[in-house]
Structure 1
Amino acid sequence: MSLLRIFHVSGSAVSAQSQRLNTVSTNLANADTVAGPDGKSFKARQVMFQTVPMGDAAAVGVQVAGVREDDTPGRRVHDPSHPNADADGYVTFSNVNAVEEMVNMISASRSYQNNVEVMNTAKTLLTKTLQMGQN
């Protein structure tokens, strides 16, 4: 695999992880929301990845295949005094699990950082190679 191909592979991963971080932040922002007037609560979203060839057979990158909603039912709390309570007195919250989302955020952040480090290392190697050629 060409050293220049590393930038394409790591760049695709950085882009995908960036979208994953944006999705996690949306989920966390809506973790404690309740069902709206239509009776539907916020559904957690998960980014789906897929591999994509990057030229030769040895280079494979990643791209976002889509974002899917989690169909797990939201948490229901009995609170008849709440303005959004249903006829039985239950309030439906979003199905976002804040702990899982924090773990997901840490994982995406580490992956993002690792791919940036790979690109920085490749840049350093290319610079050293050019300097060797000048001597």
Structure 2
Amino acid sequence: MHAMEISRTGLEVEWRRLEVISENLANAGTVRTAGGGAYQPRHLISGPRGEFSAYLDRSHASATAQDERLDGVMVYAIEPDATPPRRAHEPDNPQADADGFVTYPAINHAEQMVLMAKTARVYEANIVAMNTARQMYAKALELGMRG
């Protein structure tokens, strides 16, 4: 894979992560879903597309074979958060149970906002890497045309 393609996979993963974070924040007050319970926050699990240990094992492969093993990143799964929901005593709320408690999703706004800022920075870093690779390819073409 080339540098621009690797950065593109990073952009795709981080964009999906931003979507998951946005969905969590948008549903922070959702006490009833179509399934009947409180919204279940989710988180994205990502990692290398190829076998990372194979890339690290440089003793048995040429540089060309190493480049072919660079596959970028991918989303492995989007899993529900295991944090138990928050219960608030609100007996006047129409969504309250028989004991007067309303079950809210366990979404930490500050944590989600920090993760969103971090994800945005990673997204920006992938754009910078992609633009740098594009400039390097353009310069290489320019130099090749001179020779």
Shared topology, TM-score over 0.5?
Answer: yes
Find the aligned partners of 1:47 and 1:102 in 2 and give their Cα distance: 15
Give the C-alpha shift of residue 37 in structure 1. Answer: 7.7
1:82 corresponds, among 77, 81, 93, to 93
> Distance between the aligned counterparts of 1:129 and 1:57, measured in 2?
21
Counterpart in 1 of 2:133? 122
1:65: which partner in 2? 76
The alignment status of 1:113 with 2:124, answered yes or no, reads yes
Structure holding more strand per residue = 1
CA distance in 1 between counterparts of 2:34 and 2:45 reads: 30
Match of 2:7, as an amino acid? S
CA distance in 1, matches of 2:120, 2:65: 28
Q: Give the AA of the match of 1:79.
A: E
* Separation in structure 1 between the aligned mates of residue 97 and residue 37 of structure 2, nearest angstrom: 11
What's the CA shift for 1:57? Answer: 3.4
List 4+ stretches of structure 1 deviating above 6 A.
none
So what's the TM-score if we normalise by structure 1? Answer: 0.88
Post-superposition offset of 1:71: 2.3
Residue 33 (str. 1) matches residue 30 (str. 2): yes
Aligned residues of 1:13 and 1:112 also touching (Cα < 8 A): yes
Q: Structure 2 stretches of 5 or more lacking a match?
A: 52-63
Match for residue 50 of structure 2?
53
Contact 1:80 1:88 in 2 (8 A): yes
Corresponding position of 1:12: 9
- Any stretches of 5+ residues in structure 1 without a counterpart? none
The structure with the largest helix share of the pair is 2
Amino acid at match of 1:94: P
Secondary structure in structure 2 of the residue aligned to 1:99: helix
Q: Quote how far apart the aligned CAs of 1:120 are.
A: 0.2
- Please give the root-mean-square deviation of Cα atoms over the aligned residues, in Å: 2.0
- Seen in structure 2, the aligned counterparts of structure 1 residues 75 and 56 have a Cα distance that, compared at 3 Å, is farther
